[in-house]
Amino acid sequence: MLLERQEVNPNKSDNESRTPLSYAVQYRYVEVAKMLLGCEKITPDKPDNMGRTPLSYAAVDGDGEMVKVLLAHEDVNPDKPDNKGRTPLSYAAEGRYGSGFRKCTAVVKILLGREEVNPDGLDNEGRTPLSYAVMKGRVGIGKMLLERKEVDPNRPDDTGWTQLSYATSKGHTSCVTILLGHGDVNPDKADSTGRTPLSYAAGNAYGEVVKVLLEGGEVNPDRPDDDRTLLSYATEGGYLYEAKMSTKVAKILLKQEEVYPGKPDNKGRTPLIYAAFKGYDEVVEMLLGWEEVNPNEQDIEG
């Protein structure tokens, strides 16, 4: 009834520049969206203040039916970036919290079927759709993207983080495995601070990921970043992790011949000092069993 009124503007936006179509898409009102898209005056790709289009909202929700409805309109750009440089594919690859993996996978498949969509497009931080997919552990989406020849699985973002860095930092073993199975991936590539994927896995106490990386034989288990070694990160274990998890990773690293258990960082702090500071008794006992570890060693602050 409203759309039949001549004075009603179907594109009129609110203070956030969101249109009626944008809200219909967000709340998954497909029939309402179809009515709005049937209006001659409709601008289906009108962005809001964040630069996000209705298609962007449908994509992040994994709403395949709505995505198809929007893409059927000739004025919808399936690869239109928002103010952050993120495209609908980028959002679909990540998915919103609570969105089902299968739903988002289906949307990615639809978007990749469009010639206009760049499967390896960079956002304003230099991140690709693949980096968002593996960061969230979306294995199926990761596989689909890796099948595209345009996708560079070893491309770093503006901070030097690679797709493998994102996967290891979140402990997604399956995503790490599929990335390592790709010949172009450098498993020991350091970011702008000198940290490698193994460093992030060790620092976050992801034992299974550490094992997978070491099994390839292409990573240096004692490679320091601009300051600390991997063992140093592992013995501290990060502020969110239990001593048991740190102990497991420390044991794995100490089995590697290249690892020197008493190596200090730039402040003179050894793995033992970090473990003692965190109160990780088992890690401390394990390190004290090595001749190279000096229990009396002081850092530069004494």
Angle between helices 243-254 and 271-278 (to 10 degrees): 160
Asked if residue 191 has pLDDT above 70, the reply is: yes
pLDDT tier, 27 (very low <50, low <70, confident <90, very high otherwise)? very high
The per-residue DSSP string of 152-185 comes to -TT---TTS--HHHHHHHTT-HHHHHHHHTSTT-
Going from N- to C-terminal start, the domains of the chain cover: 1-92+107-130
The one-letter amino acid code at 5 reads: R
Categorise residue 171: left if φ over 0, alpha if ψ from -120 to 50, beta otherwise: left
Q: Looking at residues 148-169, what average pLDDT do you find?
A: 97
Looking at residue 203, its pLDDT comes to 93
Percentage of the chain with pLDDT > 90? 88
Cβ-Cβ contacts under 8 Å for 69 (sequence gap 6 or more): 30, 33, 34, 37
Closest CA to 142 of 169, 123, 125, 166: 166
pLDDT tier, 243 (very low <50, low <70, confident <90, very high otherwise)? confident
Q: Looking at residues 47-67, what average pLDDT do you find?
A: 97
> What CATH code is assigned to 1-92+107-130?
1.25.40.20
Return the ∠ at Cα 126 (arms to 120 and 130), rounded to 5°: 40
